[in-house]
């Protein structure tokens, strides 16, 4: 049974991810409305102001940071979880300053998101990373970011990285490096 107090706005430009997460959240009792960008999200939120939101950081048009600010204006008590495949300290800090309840790096599952909605305070037990990311991992994440910026176009990403297309293709066939 869906509790009408559990209205959830899900905003992510990845259609497959959005649909999968929407189904998972519905199974957990949320009434889900979804949008692929900030403009569509604001329109939906203006029609029915949600109590919860899951917002992707990087999407076409205004970023998730802009959307967090706009959603908080509609409902200052809204619980917002920022999701991103491009996690950084700077965007995490800004998301929280703008009103996000929590910030999760992708991939995050529905249970992690539900738990994040319930977080009221920080966790003093959180351990700092034992070591910085490895150089291969930094390279992998940079390649993924550039590839995303070029909408998955390997040739355009290779040009941007000043790398031969075949070299980039070989790197993409490898599994992500360990952190």
Over the stretch 47-66, which tens digit does the pLDDT of each residue have? 999 999 999 988 888 889 89
Mind listing the domains of the chain with CATH numbers? 4-118 (3.40.50.2300), 135-173 (1.10.10.60)
Q: In the Cβ-directed half-sphere of 169, how many Cα atoms lie within 13 Å?
A: 6
Neighbours of 170 (CB within 10 A): 10
47: its two tokens: 């029609």
Q: What is the pLDDT of residue 2?
A: 39
9: its two tokens: 């706005």
Q: What is the pLDDT of residue 155?
A: 93
Q: What is the pLDDT of residue 1?
A: 34
Confidence of residue 138 (pLDDT cuts 50, 70, 90): confident
Yes or no: say if 65 and 57 are a contact pair by the CB < 8 Å rule. yes
CA dist., res. 5 & res. 18, Å (int): 21
Give tens-digit pLDDT for 1-41.
333 478 999 999 988 889 999 999 999 999 999 999 999 99
Task: Read off the pTM.
Answer: 0.69
DSSP lists the bridge partners of residue 9 as 33, 53
Give tens-digit pLDDT for 87-136.
666 678 888 889 999 998 887 889 999 999 988 766 656 666 666 777 88
CB within 8 Å of 32: residues ≥ 6 apart: 8, 9, 10, 22, 25, 26
Q: How far apart are the first and last CA of the chain?
A: 41
CA dist., res. 68 & res. 70, Å (int): 5
30: its two tokens: 């949320």
The label of the residue with tokens 């899951």 reads 54
């Amino acid at each position: 049974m869906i509790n009408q107090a559990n209205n959830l706005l899900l905003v992510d430009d990845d259609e497959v991810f959005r649909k999968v997460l929407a189904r998972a959240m519905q199974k957990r009792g949320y009434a889900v409305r979804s949008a692929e960008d900030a403009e569509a999200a604001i329109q939906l939120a203006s029609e029915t102001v949600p109590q919860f939101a899951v917002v992707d950081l990087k999407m076409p048009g205004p970023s998730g940071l802009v959307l967090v600010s706009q959603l908080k204006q509609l409902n200052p008590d809204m619980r917002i979880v920022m999701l991103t495949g491009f996690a950084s300290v700077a965007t995490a800090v800004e998301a929280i300053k703008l009103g996000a309840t929590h910030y999760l790096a992708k991939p995050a599952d529905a249970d992690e998101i539900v738990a994040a909605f319930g977080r009221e305070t920080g966790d003093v037990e959180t351990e700092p990373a034992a070591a910085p990311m490895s150089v291969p991992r930094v390279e992998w994440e940079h390649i993924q970011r550039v590839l995303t910026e070029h909408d998955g176009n390997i040739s355009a990403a290779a040009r941007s990285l000043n790398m031969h297309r075949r070299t980039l293709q070989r790197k993409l066939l490898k599994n992500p490096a360990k952190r």
